[in-house]
Chains A and B, each alone.
Chain A
Amino acid sequence: MKIKHQLAIFNALTRLLVILILWLMLPILVENVVYRHINNGLLEKKHKFIEHLNKSEIDDFIENSDDSTETYSQFSTLHSEFLVLSRSPIKANQKKAVFSNEFRIIEGEESEYRILQYHFTYEKQGYQLEIGSSLSEINDLTFIIRFFIIIVFVVILLITFLADTFYIEFLLKPFYKIIDTKIRRVNEPESFDHTPIKARSRDFRELDFVLNQMMDRIAELFKKEKQFISNVSHELLTPIALLKSKFENLLQNDSLDDNAFDKIAGSLRTLDMLKKIINNLLLISRIENNQYEANEVINFHEIITDLQEDLQDRIEDREIQFLNKMQHDYIFTGNKTLIHILIYNLVTNAIKYNKPKGSIVVEDGFLEHRYFISITDLGIGMNASQIENIFNRFARISSDQDGQGLGLAIAESIASFHHIEIKVTSQINEGTTFMLLLPEMTKHN
């Protein structure tokens, strides 16, 4: 889940909690306020009643003065209020005024009332006065208020949720931009875009700044490595060039005896090997240092045809049958020289480790929407542990083979430079297949 959604949901939940608490507290709040208001009204009425109290009025209220339980009631027409006066003896410790909520039936209609019970003595006679005020309206009102508030809260919740989502998205925009332009699309430090990302939050500006700094350091290291590679090649290869020239000039000397001549020729071969090892190692370093461009259009069919021509001598020498079964004209963008080396190395391996009069089959096709080229030989094959090691530098399948075991290490470097996957399947004495699985979506740029 993305951070913007997480934040928005978290905000919404906390707001929901607040609203829930408010909603639950609402009746208590409303009742407190409303009851105080009603109580005050009832007390005021009581005051008025007591103030104007006299014998005749009591008599008016209580018609039959002999009957102590006789009461007199007075109602407002809509039964919203009533007043009851009755004789009742005053008990000890009895509170003078008590408020309570009770249901009363008045003229056959039951409803809830807020009732003030007031006990007083008048001319040594104890009386109980009850003044009631209907709560039905209040209850209706409370319900309406709660309902209304719920609607308002839901609307607020929705609006703030949307606002949150958009605002968080707006805030996080630089973050995704940094990821996209500064991290994901960067393959080499030289192509790094140093323009600062516009961000409102200082955090992202800082992140951007730190990333830029980091990239600068990496770029610096890359540059140093490049310089080092360049120096190494110059400093190592110049002396080799000198030795080579000297030996070649020596070979022209007619006074050399056979022994010396062979030794010089042998030295030249060793020098050649040394040169090739250095060049191979430099090649790997330079691929890993991203010193190659990958913007050439490559036609695999063409490369295979060229290679077959180049290697015709070797193929004929070992009487190997070379079958090119390629059917697709697949176009790939990459570095032509490197791809050529990659396939060259695989094909020469297939020749080297083949059986005499064996065969090499080159096929292509699509596997899960990815184009592949496979090079299969009917050679000596490898077991699982050998396959594991073939891409290591200076690894050789068998010690009696010549070569320095860099061919496949180079092949792997080139493949990973182009995001090509190499799959190897092999069986001892049956042969080996190298499959180059190209990255998806590279067709026709």
Chain B
Amino acid sequence: MNILIVEDNKELAVEVYDFLCNVGYVCKIAHNCADALEEINSNDYDAMLLDLGLPDGDGFEVLQTVRKTKSKIAVIVLTARGELDDRINGLHLGADDYLTKPFALTELSARLFAVIRRIHGFTLNSLSIHGFLLQLQDYKVSYDEIPINLTKKEFDIFQYLVLNKNRVITRLQLTEHIWGDILEVNSDSNFIDVHVRNLRKKLDKHRAIDWFETVRNVGYRINE
């Protein structure tokens, strides 16, 4: 999977680049509109992460140009929340998703996964980890073909951790993933623990889950 990162903040671009390369994507960085358009025209990309505030123009111009020629490229707009109209515009002009800054890298990879999967016609329909099979389309989990009854939230948590396997996912990240980008300044995200506890209980019935770690009272990690 080839991904073009269009972001004028060089350090942030590098962080995203490192993260996505680590996950297994092939990435390239463009810092402005001109570079981005040149890259898009000379190489085949599966997805583009597009920042809106670029030094030589508006990210939308890139988006519009891209949409005129390429239809099979997944575009995720990275925007600051203040650019509200942009958000609506973005989806209207053909962005597949948007993420408000600051975003969690793990959230980015989950969204990227979903968008690419959608663009490629849902060819990838399941994930598996230690014998557990996650059916992405109908939110079902099974072990050895025995279905496991998970709530929607438990499934989401499981899928998120599996997609970001081998990484520590903080409670904050999980909270944001499950309840969205709530504005309330209230960082007691203990509610996530209840769901994780229940999820582990259900998984534990089928197989020992020492690979499902609690990391130092900060977050969780699923190891492959």
Q: Which A residues form the contact surface with B (CB < 8 A)?
A: 229-230, 232-234, 236-246, 248-249, 251-252, 258, 261-262, 265, 268-269, 271-273, 275-277, 279-280, 282-283, 286, 291-292, 310, 313-314, 317, 341, 344-345, 348, 352, 402-404, 406-407, 410
Contacts and interface: CB of A to CB of B under 8 A. Distances in A.
B184 interface: yes
Nearest to B13: A242
Contact of A238 (B9, B168, B183, B187): B9
Contacts of B184: 276, 344-345, 348, 403, 407
B19 A249 contact: yes
A341 to B, nearest CB: 7
Interface in B52-94: 52-53, 78, 80-85
A233 B183 contact: no
A175 B186 CA distance: 53
B186 A310 contact: no
Contacts of A271: 102
A277 B186 CA distance: 11
Contacts of A240: 101-102
Top 9 A-B pairs ranked by shortest CB distance?
A233-B82, A241-B102, A245-B15, A233-B80, A313-B191, A242-B12, A237-B80, A265-B218, A241-B101
B115 to A, nearest CB: 19
Nearest to B104: A248
A242 B185 contact: no
A143 to B, nearest CB: 83
Contacts, number: 132
B9 A410 contact: no
A280 B103 contact: no
B103 to A, nearest CB: 6
A292 B184 CA distance: 20
A contact patch SS: helix
A250 to B, nearest CB: 10
Contacts of A268: 170, 172
Interface in B142-161: none
B170 A234 contact: no
B102 A277 contact: no
A261 B81 contact: no
Interface string B179-203: 1011111111011001100000000
A276 B186 CA distance: 9
Contacts of B100: 237
A279 B194 contact: no
Nearest to A291: B84
B162 interface: no
B120 interface: no
B183 A279 contact: yes
Contacts of A313: 191, 194-195
Contacts of B168: 251-252
B83 A280 contact: no
B81 A262 contact: no
B127 interface: no
